[in-house]
Structure 1
Amino acid sequence: MTVEITRRDWMSLLAKAPATTLQSLWQATGMAPGYTWLRTPEVGAAMVRGRMGGTGAPFNLGEMTVTRCSLQLDSGEIGHAYVQGRDKDKATTAALIDALMQGPSADHLRATLIARLTAEIGAMKSKRAAKAAATKVEFFTMVRGEDQ
């Protein structure tokens, strides 16, 4: 079974994945393609924007540290990565996977790395949601006798 996923989806998945998980799944593939740098990993900042209530007018919330890079595989595919924080290795790995997902290795990576990463991140979200649900408070009003 292959997972249907767009480039936008896998780029988001790679950016959000914990670095240790991404590295271990990448090493498990055994792939080591040759590449040249178009932009070596560099650390910078990006403005984070928010919206009041999720639907209001956008406003600048603050800056976030990001690492970005771009590379080209020897076979010609180009990969890009923007990841949160200062992890140059994670950015490199994400760019390699992005480039490989555009070539003949895409089906193999979808079935192995992307599917497992999707499952692990889904499990992390479920665990976080369950932890938040445990703190939920239900408010209700008692019916008084004269209100009947």
Structure 2
Amino acid sequence: MQMTDASPFARKSWMATLAKASPARLAGLFPDLPAHTVLRHPEIGAVMVRGRIGGTGSAFNLGEMTVTRASVRLASGEVGHAWVQGRDKDHALRAAAVDALMQTDRAADLTASLLRPLAAESGAARDLRAAKAAATKVDFFTMVRGEDK
């Protein structure tokens, strides 16, 4: 088994990209799962989401989020895991299969054909949300009044 450290996508990055991807889009880009054995059938559960005020304050419990997890082993022995937001079991299995394949010599092909498009689409959606939010920004300023001089 080889880990693709040379890939511009480290495992943490590709797992985040797969977890945040639209299940339908992931299925469209990666329709056929490779031969695999399911080690952990998709399980639906909840995780506690924690936050910090300003990123530096004390951590607090923000709330719970539904997640689905799965693990698979490819016929060649690589093991893949996935945790995805929501209750989509197929999404979790597909993401786990991609995680396992990213540990093989197919990593470069998957990066080009799957991960880069998903990351680009995610970035475009993030930019669109930011532009919509920026359009509602109000700049407050203080006018100098005569009695303030």
TM-score by length of 1: 0.92
Identity over aligned pairs, percent: 60
Aligned residues: 144
Query: Partner letter of residue 129 of structure 2?
Result: R
The residue type equivalent to 1:70 in the other structure is: S
Q: Deviations over 1:72-117 (max 9, x none)?
A: 0001110000001100010011001100001011010011101111
The aligned counterpart of 1:121 is 122
- Alignment correspondent of 1:144: 145
Deviation per CA, 1:27-73: give whole Å up to 9, x if none: 2xxx5311001100010111111112221111112211110010100
Gaps of 5+ in 1: none
Opposite residue 27 of structure 2, the aligned amino acid is Q
Q: Which amino acid aligns with 2:43?
A: E
Deviation, 1:3, is 6.4
Match for 1:71: what amino acid? Answer: V
Give matches, 1:45-84, under 5 Å: 45-84=46-85
Q: Give the TM-score normalised by structure 2.
A: 0.91
Computed over aligned residues only, the root mean square deviation of the Cα atoms, in angstroms, reads 1.5
Identify unmatched segments of 5+ residues in structure 2.
1-5
Q: What is the CA-CA distance between 1:147 and the residue it aligns to?
A: 4.0
Q: Within 2, Cα distance between the matches of 1:25 and 1:105? A: 15
- Distance in 1 (alpha carbons) for counterparts of 2:90 and 2:55: 33
Structure 2: distance between partners of 1:3 and 1:143: 56
How far apart, in 2, do the equivalents of 1:32 and 1:104 lie?
16
